[in-house]
């Protein structure tokens, strides 16, 4: 669906004519495999253009393509692997046609020109410099450890110790990649799988990765390598300075040496509140004493042990004997809190002059810390903004690529579900293609499903197209009238006939379906007109017989009713054949 909505690709497929010599027995395995696949792909695309059906079944084309995968049929294929194999077959099929049509020149393959680019690898290996030009199709990018697409690309374009590239006397190894030629359709494979050595199985990476609707690739072009290197060095210095500022800010925002840390401005505020607080000397014992009974009186409910500790009463002891008193241990009253201990933390002794000086210092320090914190935060924001705008000057926004399609995978490494977001370039809106459901969508929904980090759904493949190459998405025009060709008018004559035949079959299927539904409705109507026999009255219970009888089972009743119904329907149908439906209705 992503490729079908690239109008240039659609035209190439629909207008593909098999080589003349392919009408006979295919000469090799590629022709035996790829040409039948191209035929089915043309049929599939033609049906997508002009079919009256709600959806089109791609099974015939997919069955041929499945031969390319040597794994178990139940194993779900990686979307990048599937796309890679699809483009390989298309390239082979168009190559066969190109070689037949070449006229002394090197044949041009439209699939190669559409999907393949070139990059220059410049590097140093064991102190020796080298340069290699390589062709690429789908460009793989690592996801883990990066926050956006540009960070992934920066990491993919640099390998090893790149400082050695600019020095004459170095034995380090490294290389840089620079695009020399970008394809009109640029596809990025996002590597969201990694092998877990401990578990011995692959796992999906659910990290969030942002990507823009417009991607400027000037910084990765070989012609801009010098200015890009300067900007990279500047960004590197800014990031180092940014790290220092962030560490300083962290000390302001998380002050202390223990496990619990607080913002320094709050610590100074707490100290100021402590210095300004007044001690409140209220002991909890005083509160208890206020509610205690008067001395010399005994509480109404006194335990026997307390009475025994007080000794015998005065009536039992002679008045001439001295009073014998035992020492009473009162742990609570003897270990009471000192009465001058304040209830809340507060300075014990501080003069007004000392408090005035301290408050002035704390107020000044707090203001200084607030200003320093604000300055650090503004400096950090300013550096971030400078880094973001580093490549926004006019010379670095000349190679725009627009996001055309996003392939989304939901699930884990071993299984899941795919759908796609595809941009409608003529209606300027996103569409969601989920199996047979095609619905309008938004960039916000695409972000939620594609960036990752929220659930187990994330983008797996990004398809960008050169925003300056309008032929990729341009409609086809009638050469004579100048009007836009739509629908069946865009198809070659053979595919137009194929779609018409399929639409006729579909209309016949609809007629057969309607007739089947009408027949079922008529049978149900006839069944509802069958008179129902009254249920037999139960026989009177004879004297001496039990008051209950064995009832027939529901299965038996259903069986008899079914037999009666079948007989009635057959009888009615026979009468209808003999006398016509009007006579049946009259009776």
Distance between CA atoms of 443 and 267, rounded to whole angstroms? 45
Whether residue 398 has pLDDT greater than 60:
yes
pLDDT of residue 507: 94
pLDDT of residue 540: 55
| Higher per-residue pLDDT: 149 or 561 | 149
Band (53; pLDDT cuts 50, 70, 90): very high
Contact 183, 138 (CB under 8 A): no
- 57-76: average pLDDT: 72
Distance between CA atoms of 17 and 14, rounded to whole angstroms? 9
Per-residue pLDDT tens over the stretch 282-303: 555 554 454 444 444 444 444 4
- Render the burial of 259-278: b for 16+ CB within 10 Å, e for the rest: eeeebbbebbbebbeebeee
pLDDT of residue 314: 44
Contacts of 109-112 with C-beta under 8 Å, sequence gap 24+, read: 110/12, 111/12, 111/87
Predicted TM-score (pTM) of the model is: 0.72
- 209-214: average pLDDT: 96
Instruction: Identify which of 82, 48, 78, 80 has the alpha carbon closest to the alpha carbon of residue 65.
Output: 82
Regarding beta strands 139-142 and 185-191, do their DSSP bridges make them parallel or antiparallel, or are they unpaired?
A: parallel
Per-residue pLDDT tens over the stretch 262-276: 888 888 888 888 888
The helix/strand/coil state of 305 is: helix
pLDDT of residue 571: 67
Band (72; pLDDT cuts 50, 70, 90): low
> At the top level of CATH, which class does the domain 116-221+399-471 belong to?
alpha beta
Question: Which of 127-131, 236-240, 274-278: highest mean pLDDT?
Answer: 236-240
Whether residue 414 has pLDDT greater than 80:
no
Instruction: Write out the E strands in 217-356.
Output: none
% of the chain surpassing 70 pLDDT: 72
Contact 267, 255 (CB under 8 A): yes
Regarding beta strands 416-424 and 400-411, do their DSSP bridges make them parallel or antiparallel, or are they unpaired?
A: antiparallel
Whether residue 87 has pLDDT greater than 90:
no
| Higher per-residue pLDDT: 338 or 266 | 266
Whether residue 520 has pLDDT greater than 60:
yes
* Token couple for 576: 């209808």
Whether residue 425 has pLDDT greater than 80:
yes
Per-residue pLDDT tens over the stretch 525-555: 888 877 766 666 655 545 444 443 444 444 5
Q: Which residues contact 205 (CB under 8 A, 6 or more apart)?
A: 143, 144, 191, 192, 193, 194, 452
pLDDT of residue 581: 47
Contact 390, 303 (CB under 8 A): no
Distance between CA atoms of 91 and 108, rounded to whole angstroms? 11
| Higher per-residue pLDDT: 21 or 407 | 407
Q: Which residues contact 399 (CB under 8 A, 6 or more apart)?
A: 182, 216, 217, 218, 221, 466
Band (322; pLDDT cuts 50, 70, 90): very low
- 319-337: average pLDDT: 53
% of the chain surpassing 90 pLDDT: 41
- 82-94: average pLDDT: 86
Band (61; pLDDT cuts 50, 70, 90): confident
Q: Which residues contact 81 (CB under 8 A, 6 or more apart)?
A: 69
* Domain ranges across the chain: 1-111+492-503, 116-221+399-471, 248-279+345-394
Question: Which of 160-174, 255-269, 324-338, 388-402: highest mean pLDDT?
Answer: 388-402
Band (311; pLDDT cuts 50, 70, 90): very low
Band (579; pLDDT cuts 50, 70, 90): low
- 488-513: average pLDDT: 93
Tell me the average pLDDT of the chain. 80
Contact 432, 419 (CB under 8 A): yes
pLDDT of residue 523: 86
Band (33; pLDDT cuts 50, 70, 90): confident
Instruction: Identify which of 33, 34, 12, 179 has the alpha carbon closest to the alpha carbon of residue 109.
Output: 12
Span of 32-46, 215-229, 283-297, 446-460 with lowest mean pLDDT = 283-297
| Higher per-residue pLDDT: 28 or 385 | 385
pLDDT of residue 511: 93
Report the 10 Å Cβ neighbour count for 374: 10
Report the 10 Å Cβ neighbour count for 215: 19
Per-residue pLDDT tens over the stretch 90-122: 888 888 777 776 666 677 889 999 999 999 998
Whether residue 135 has pLDDT greater than 70:
yes
Contact 265, 369 (CB under 8 A): yes
pLDDT of residue 302: 44
Distance between CA atoms of 416 and 458, rounded to whole angstroms? 11
Whether residue 236 has pLDDT greater than 60:
yes
* Token couple for 100: 């037949």
* Token couple for 290: 């206020």
User: What does the DSSP 8-state code read for residue 547?
Assistant: S
pLDDT of residue 428: 94
């Amino acid at each position: 669906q992503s490729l079908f909505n690239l109008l240039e690709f659609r035209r190439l497929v629909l207008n593909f004519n098999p080589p003349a010599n392919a009408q006979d027995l295919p000469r090799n395995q590629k022709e035996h495999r790829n040409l039948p696949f191209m035929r089915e792909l043309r049929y599939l695309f033609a049906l997508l253009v002009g079919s009256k059906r709600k959806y089109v079944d791609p099974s015939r084309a997919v069955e041929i393509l499945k031969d390319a995968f040597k794994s178990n049929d139940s194993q779900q294929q990686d979307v990048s692997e599937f796309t890679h194999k699809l483009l390989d077959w298309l390239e082979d099929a168009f190559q066969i046609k190109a070689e037949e049509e070449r006229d002394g020149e090197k044949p041009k393959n439209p699939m190669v020109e559409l999907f393949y680019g070139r990059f220059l690898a410049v590097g140093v290996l064991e102190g020796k410099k080298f340069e290699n030009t390589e062709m690429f199709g789908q460009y793989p990018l690592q996801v883990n450890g990066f926050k956006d697409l540009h960070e992934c690309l920066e990491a993919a374009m640099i390998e090893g110790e790149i400082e050695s590239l600019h020095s004459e006397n170095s034995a380090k190894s490294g290389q840089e990649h620079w695009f020399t030629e970008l394809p009109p359709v640029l596809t990025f494979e996002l590597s969201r799988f990694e092998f877990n050595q401990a578990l011995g199985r692959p796992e999906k990476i659910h990290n969030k990765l942002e990507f823009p609707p417009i991607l400027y690739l000037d910084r990765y072009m070989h012609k801009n390598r010098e200015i890009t290197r300067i900007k990279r060095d500047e960004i590197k210095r800014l990031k180092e300075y940014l790290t220092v500022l962030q560490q300083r800010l962290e000390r302001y925002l998380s002050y202390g040496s223990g496990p619990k840390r607080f913002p320094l401005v709050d610590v100074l505020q707490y100290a100021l509140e402590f210095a300004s607080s007044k001690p409140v000397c209220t002991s909890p014992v005083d509160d208890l004493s206020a509610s205690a009974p008067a001395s010399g009186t005994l509480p109404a409910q006194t335990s026997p042990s307390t009475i025994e500790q007080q000794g015998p009463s005065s009536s039992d002891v002679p008045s001439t004997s001295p009073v014998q008193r035992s020492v009473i241990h009162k742990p609570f009253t003897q270990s009471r809190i000192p009465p001058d201990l304040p209830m809340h933390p507060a300075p014990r002794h501080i003069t007004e002059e000392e408090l005035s000086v301290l408050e002035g210092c704390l107020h000044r320090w707090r203001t200084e810390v607030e200003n320093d914190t604000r300055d650090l935060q503004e400096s950090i924001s300013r550096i971030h903004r400078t880094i973001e705008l580093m490549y926004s000057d006019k010379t670095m926004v000349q190679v725009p690529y627009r996001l055309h399609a996003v392939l989304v995978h939901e699930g884990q490494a071993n299984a899941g579900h795919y759908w796609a977001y595809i941009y409608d370039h003529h209606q300027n809106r996103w569409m969601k293609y989920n199996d047979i459901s095609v619905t309008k969508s938004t960039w916000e929904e695409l972000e939620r499903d594609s960036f990752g980090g929220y659930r187990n759904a994330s983008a797996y493949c990004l398809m960008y197209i050169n925003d300056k190459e309008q032929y990729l998405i341009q409609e086809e025009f009638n050469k004579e009238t100048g009007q836009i060709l739509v629908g069946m008018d865009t198809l070659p004559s053979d595919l137009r006939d194929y779609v018409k035949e399929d639409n006729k079959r579909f209309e016949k299927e609809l007629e057969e379906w309607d007739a089947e539904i009408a027949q079922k409705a008529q049978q149900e109507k006839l069944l509802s007109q069958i008179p129902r026999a009254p249920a037999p009255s139960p026989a009177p219970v004879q004297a001496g017989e039990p008051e209950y009888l064995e009832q027939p089972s529901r299965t038996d009743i259903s069986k008899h009713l079914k037999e009666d119904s079948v007989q009635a329907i057959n009888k009615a149908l026979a009468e209808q054949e003999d006398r016509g439906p009007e006579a049946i209705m009259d009776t």
